[in-house]
Structure 1
């Protein structure tokens, strides 16, 4: 098994990638999505969803729901990132690592869950920062033979090039994710998205 991961500036692109992975035959149980929810966009759709670190049990319960991964989104909070909607094994692992942990442990849970599944520490920090800045993270565990196709699906779904984004963050003095910083608010996230938005094709 290999872990493939993609960061997306837009939730729509991330959800399209999840659907494409499922359509290719990747089981919902092997896919995870974590998406910034600073604008509270998903609260109306997720009435009764648990919030905070205690939501781990709820996330674990919705992994691989009958209607596909995206029908099981739950709401949680990650220090330094803020509110997110999430579903799948990575979210459940990250939250599980936080249960009973000291404040600030959730980021370690997310980064630890990523690195524990084979993502480099440098990329794990980049992905956590990307979600902090309004992005969405899709992660899938796939058979080695399917990995090239799964990665191609993420790229076709308008994923963020990790090297380019790291270079852009580094130009601003960023070195690694810091869960003690304040989460981005909706206005900051919109400015960040504008910074990377591709101009429409002529």
Structure 2
């Protein structure tokens, strides 16, 4: 069974939470979904609590218990601080890598955890930047036979165009992983298309987009990677 990692950035926590509910309703186990949000559950009290906890606990410490409600993934949201990103609410399989397998500190950072999950370096840093700027990141582990269905759900609930956002951030001075520009997309060369990845490696490797045409709109909104075994 070939597994894929799907990643998508959302403008709001609410949009991502709605996507999570839909994914779970279609049979995706909550253990295969992960959410990391810099906007909490929409309540100012959650952010204030996170900010206060970070000031006392230090960057990288796991700083909360459960703050979610209902059932499934969202019931397990907890407060934590991520180096380079700040205080977030998070739940799911990616959190285990963020917390260093129980050590209690997100020492590797969000980008490092994403690359461990198969995400390319450039995209991983872009997703981390998106969360730092107030976005919400969803990552889903799924068998390749279901990846198209999951992609449609993520796109249908408002997944953002990562290339477009990265271009805006670069105009604001964000360097990302590269200061060069891709002739294919007009954005950072750190965000590989399938064509450029194939030219570089000649085959699908860890961190390479699984896409026949990475420039189509859905692929700009939802990245699909080969999940490490």
TM-score when scaled to structure 2?
A: 0.63
Change (3 A) 1:165 1:92: same
**Aligned pair partner of 1:71 in 65, 71, 75:** 75
In structure 2, the residue matched to 1:2 is 4
Q: Which runs of 4+ in 1 moved over 3 A?
A: 37-41, 43-46, 49-54, 56-59, 97-101
How far off is 1:22 after superposition? 0.7
Among residues 52, 55, 58, which one is paired with 2:62 in the alignment?
55
In 1, Cα distance between equivalents of 2:46 and 2:63: 18
Whether the 8 Å CA contact 1:56–1:99 is kept in 2: the answer is no
Partners of 1:148 and 1:15 lie apart in 2 by 19
Match of 2:227 in 1: none
Cα root mean square deviation, aligned: 3.2
Aligned match of 1:127 = 127
C-alpha distance 89-57 of structure 1, shift in aligned 2 (>3 A): farther
Give the number of equivalent residue pairs: 167
Higher helix residue share? 1
* 1:85 alignment partner in structure 2: 89
Gaps of 5+ in 2: 178-229
Is the CA contact 1:5–1:139 (under 8 Å) kept in the aligned structure 2?
yes
CA drift of 1:45 comes to 10
Asked if the contact 1:131–1:137 (Cα under 8 Å) also holds between the matched residues in 2, the reply is yes
SS of alignment partner, residue 46 of structure 2: coil
Contact kept? 1:53, 1:99, Cα under 8 Å: no
- Normalised by the length of structure 1, the TM-score is 0.71
Gaps of 5+ in 1: 178-202
Deviations 1:167-193 (A, max 9, x none): 11112221228xxxxxxxxxxxxxxxx
User: Where do residues 28-43 of structure 1 align in structure 2 (5 Å cutoff)?
Assistant: 28-37=30-39, 40-42=44-46
Match of 1:168 in 2: 168
Give, in whole Å, the separation in 2 of the partners of 1:98 and 1:130. Answer: 26
Residues 16, 138 of structure 2: 8 Å contact kept: yes
